[in-house]
Amino acid sequence: MQPPAIAIRGARKRYGEITAVDGLDLEVPAGVCFGLLGPNGAGKSTTMRLLTAQSLADDGEINVLGYRLPAESKQARMQMGVVPQLDNLDIELTCRQVLSVFARLYRVARHERHAAVARALAIANLAPRADTRVSDLSGGMRRRLLVARGLIHHPRLVLLDEPTVGLDPQIRQELWSLIDSLRSEGVTMLMSTHYIEEAERLADVVAVMSAGRVIAQGTPAELVRAHAGERVVEVYGTPERLAQVTELASRRGWSSRRSGPAVAIMRAESLGEEVPDGTVRPANLEDAFVALTGEEIE
């Protein structure tokens, strides 16, 4: 068996009185797309910074691609691609120039740089825009260029920190297609996100984070079955009716949550004839997340 691409044991990171990562244990197998799912403030971005040694853990052990951090962080970074949450592209350069600069920074051999840039442009579907300045690119193109930049040196591991945050749905779909193609090629990816659908669609394995630690882990389907069951009943009605249903669920010990204009009751398949009238649907990862954390993802 291959060793894990990432192994974190008991990591803690504090900023003054705030503990951003609190005894985190995490293992990412090689060759999978691994999703870190959680609301803002769960510790996802701090975890990413620990893995790139931009922040140093106060406690615990971190190994990336067989290298121990922070002592061997330079060696790990040379084999790692990073797609940051914030756009930090040089807007005066063209796409080709951005990629050429990073090919040199990552020590791609001189005779291989032209091919590496062409491959990265093709992966991101930016070949027609190779000589367009970054300032003239759309938001989706810029985000694709960030991904291409992170792939310029054929990394063994790619870190994607909230890769589609702030993008409109159409552009998000474009990025999803790109990430999905990388997954199909067997690239190991660690992707932090607070979009339920993103984790459900792209990740082979999902770790749910809350308050700086992993509270559940498994495939999306496993998490749904374990924490939300097979079916959910959504009860609609007046505020008074919804309050009654919420009180009934609490009295009966049913797992429930407010779902827009309805109250959703999990594990409807096990409630028998007591279940209130409503719309029955398959349980999903959002149901499991709320059941685990008590939080809605915004």
Pairing status of strand 6-15 against strand 18-28: antiparallel
1 & 56 share domain:
yes
Average pLDDT estimate for 94-111: 97
Q: How far apart are CA 264 and CA 88, in angstroms?
A: 41
Q: What is the DSSP letter of 79?
A: T
* Residue 262 falls inside a structural domain: yes
Please provide the distance, in angstroms rounded to a whole number, between the alpha carbons at the two ends of the chain: 39
Contacts 24+ apart (CB under 8 A), 242-250: 245/276, 248/276
The CATH number linked to 26 is: 3.40.50.300
Confidence band for 297, pLDDT divided at 50, 70 and 90 = low
- Whether residues 73 and 98 share a domain: the answer is no
Are residues 73 and 4 part of one domain? yes
What pLDDT does residue 244 have? 93
pLDDT band at residue 165 under the 50/70/90 scheme: confident
Is the pLDDT at 170 greater than 80? The verdict is: yes
Domain membership flag for residue 93? yes
66 and 103 in a common domain:
no
Could you tell me if 94 and 136 lie in one domain? Answer: yes
Are both 112 and 13 inside the same structural domain? Answer: no
Note whether 137 and 184 are same-domain residues: no
Q: Are residues 258 and 113 in the same domain?
A: no
Residue 214 domain-assigned (yes or no)? yes
d(CA 84, CA 145): 11
Round the average pLDDT of the chain to a whole number and report it. 93
Q: What is the pLDDT of residue 93?
A: 98
User: Are 214 and 120 within one domain?
Assistant: no
Say how many domains are in the chain: 3
**pLDDT score of 294 more than 90:** no
pLDDT recorded at residue 293: 87
Average pLDDT over residues 30-48: 93
pLDDT tens-digit readout, 186-232: 889 999 998 999 999 999 999 999 999 999 999 999 999 999 999 99
Question: CB-hemisphere CA count at 13 Å for 61?
Answer: 7
Do residues 151 and 162 share a domain? Answer: no
Nearest to 111 by CA among 103, 121, 122: 103
State the pLDDT at residue 273: 75
Whether residue 192 sits in one domain with residue 240: no
Q: Which domain holds residue 245?
A: 229-282
Per-residue confidence band for 2, with pLDDT thresholds at 50, 70 and 90: confident
- Per-residue pLDDT, averaged over 261-281, amounts to 89
In tens, the pLDDT along 71-85 reads 999 999 999 999 998
Calculate mean pLDDT across residues 263-275: 87
| 298 pLDDT tier (thresholds 50, 70, 90) | low
